[in-house]
Chain A
Amino acid sequence: MTVDASSSPPSERNRTPFEKGLDRFFEGTTMGFALFILLLLVAIGLLILVQAWPAIQRFGVSFLWTSSWNPVEGREVFGVLPMIYGTLVSSAIALLLAVPLGLGTALFLSENFIPLKIRTVLVFMVELLAAIPSVVYGLWGIFVLIPALKWFLGLFGVTFAGPSMLAASLVLAIMILPIITAISRDSLAALPPELRQGSYGLGATRWGTIFRVLIPAAISGIVGGVMLALGRAMGETMAVTMLIGNSNTINPSLLAPSNTISSLLANQFAEAKGIQVASLMYAAFVLVILTLIVNILADWIVRKLKAKY
């Protein structure tokens, strides 16, 4: 007797060991790739540390507060204090400019001042600000921003060479503003509408509601966004390298050229050898630690301060 396969009753057979194995294999493979991400992170940290080891042994912790960077053979002295100063100051100025502007933009885009269609276009434009390549900002900075700054400050009788902390910080501010705006707007939009309705119902004005209810409720997202922007500003390379002047000195004037850790790496890596490579790796390790602290803090703030509804 032959049984036509298509007319046989539904089978109640169990899965074969092969099929079960296939399932487990698939899940295991995907998990392997997920764990690969963690491995990659550890590998980045370890590799840079190992490569930096000769410099760490030779210069020790004083690398962090030495101000000279001299790659001349036989008289090599390396220290990153000016670059740490440049990284922190340029990021701080950029934040100072970008936080009020970015938050104001986020508030404007999350309220109903203008029709939704126009708002969608504006949101898209702010996103575009983040999508323009860093090197294009650098090119624009060299040929448009710096001449404009020179002309403007010239009106007040101030003259300067051009590439400077000020120019780099201004472009940095433009580049991190969309990060602050996007994350603040997201966390404002995620608030339950009852908060706003309740506040209006009690007689609060629109801006009273924004300052006393909405911003406090969304503060975790806003601060987290600012921290992420800070991390980005500290690691930003190309635009800063093209505009900051790359001078390894600490100068309190914002119009003087300066340097950042990432610019140092961008400038010197391709031509470095010997202990200079190790020193650059040491500098890279310092940058990794700095951004790691900021990013972990950002993650932690978002989790800790998050209001529960």
Chain B
Amino acid sequence: MTTISGKPGDIFDAQSLKAKKSSSRNLFNIIMTGLSGLCILLALIPLVLVLFYVFVNGVNRLDLDLFTQLPPPPGSAGGGISNAIMGTLIVVAISTVISVPIGVLCAIWLSEFGSDETSIDEYVRFGVNILAGVPSIIAGVFIYGIMVRPGRPGYSALAGGVALAVLMLPTIIRTADEALKIVPQEIRWAALGVGASKYQTVLKVVLPAAVPAILTGVTLAIARAAGETAPLIFTALFSPFRFNGITNPIATLAVLVYNFAILPFKAQQELAWAASLILVLMVLLSSIIARVATRQKTY
């Protein structure tokens, strides 16, 4: 029998099998675990602070006047943001009406037809990624160039809605594409097997199965779009008056926050906080709804 070292005790040292808390690798582990825990703590502090201040500063103006009155003239107190609430709903509705059909049809081609024989779907997916990376203000610049610049119709709710639609498109295409892909392949085979044609399979079998997931994505996209400011400041502009047609400038919550935050009047600043609270509540609510909705899977 051969042993490598001289003393038999070296081989059968029972102590060496136990983890030593003080060994450098264990110490390193404990420190790193602590550091990563610290990271998430530091990451969540801003969230808590932002939510806290928005609630505290926004909640005392969350009254009936807020939803029924117009913003007060500079210097006087009270007033509300009814025109901006209405405006956000209108602009977001316009962008939804434009972006959802385009986005869903594009996603249908990507998931149902795209990978047949062409590689165009690769380019389209790449394009969607690039479009998602386009800064939001560039969407505003683009629509300004088409619909607003001198010689064109000018600032309008419609221009704002179209600018938001450009931003919503990639989100909707991605979520719809994912939602359609989750529908099991067997469902398609079964539909084709009983004699359905392609469009019948897609429109009457696959799409209805994917609708809940698509709606979730659309809800999230709408909530995000409602908070977008940059594409609106020089397309929808702002208006201190009530809504008067989609071809005129319109007030929105997001632009109202931006405009009122830098005014030196207390009433306006309070309204900015209240508008922020409404935007944050909307985002919060839609995120929770999306969470709950995606938990129930159809298949």
Contacts and interface: CB of A to CB of B under 8 A. Distances in A.
Given A19-B197, A235-B138, A104 B40 contact: yes
B258 A238 contact: yes
Contacts of A38: 123-124, 127
A40 interface: yes
Contact of A30 (B50, B106, B133, B136): B106
A129 B42 CA distance: 12
Interface in A16-55: 19, 22-23, 26-27, 29-31, 33-38, 40-41, 43-44, 47-48, 51
B36 to A, nearest CB: 4
A242 B173 contact: no
Contact of A51 (B54, B135, B145, B226): B145
Contact of A284 (B25, B43, B131, B138): B138
A80 to B, nearest CB: 14
Contacts of A138: 257-258, 261
B261 A142 contact: yes
Chain A residues touching B, majority SS: helix
Contacts of A144: 49, 53
Contacts of B124: 34-35, 37-38
Nearest to B150: A273
Interface residues of A, number: 90
A163 B237 CA distance: 24
Contacts of B50: 132, 136-137, 140
Interface residues of B, number: 89
A262 B108 contact: no
Contacts of A15: 197
Contacts of A235: 133-138
B72 interface: no
Interface string A217-238: 0000000000010011011111
Contact of A36 (B106, B197, B237): B106
A133 B37 contact: no
B180 to A, nearest CB: 11
A135 B229 contact: yes
A27 B229 CA distance: 36
Interface stretch (B8-16, B76-84, B210-218, B278-286): B278-286
Interface in B92-139: 102, 105-106, 108-110, 112-114, 120-121, 123-124, 126-131, 133-139
A284 to B, nearest CB: 5
A281 B43 contact: no
B54 A136 contact: yes
Interface in B198-231: 198-199, 202-203, 223-224, 226-230
B287 A135 contact: no
B44 A287 contact: no
A33 B44 contact: no
> 7 nearest interchain CB pairs?
A235-B135, A133-B227, A104-B39, A30-B109, A295-B133, A26-B199, A237-B230
11 contacts: A37-B169, A48-B138, A101-B43, A102-B43, A131-B223, A131-B224, A137-B50, A206-B33, A281-B141, A292-B133, A294-B133
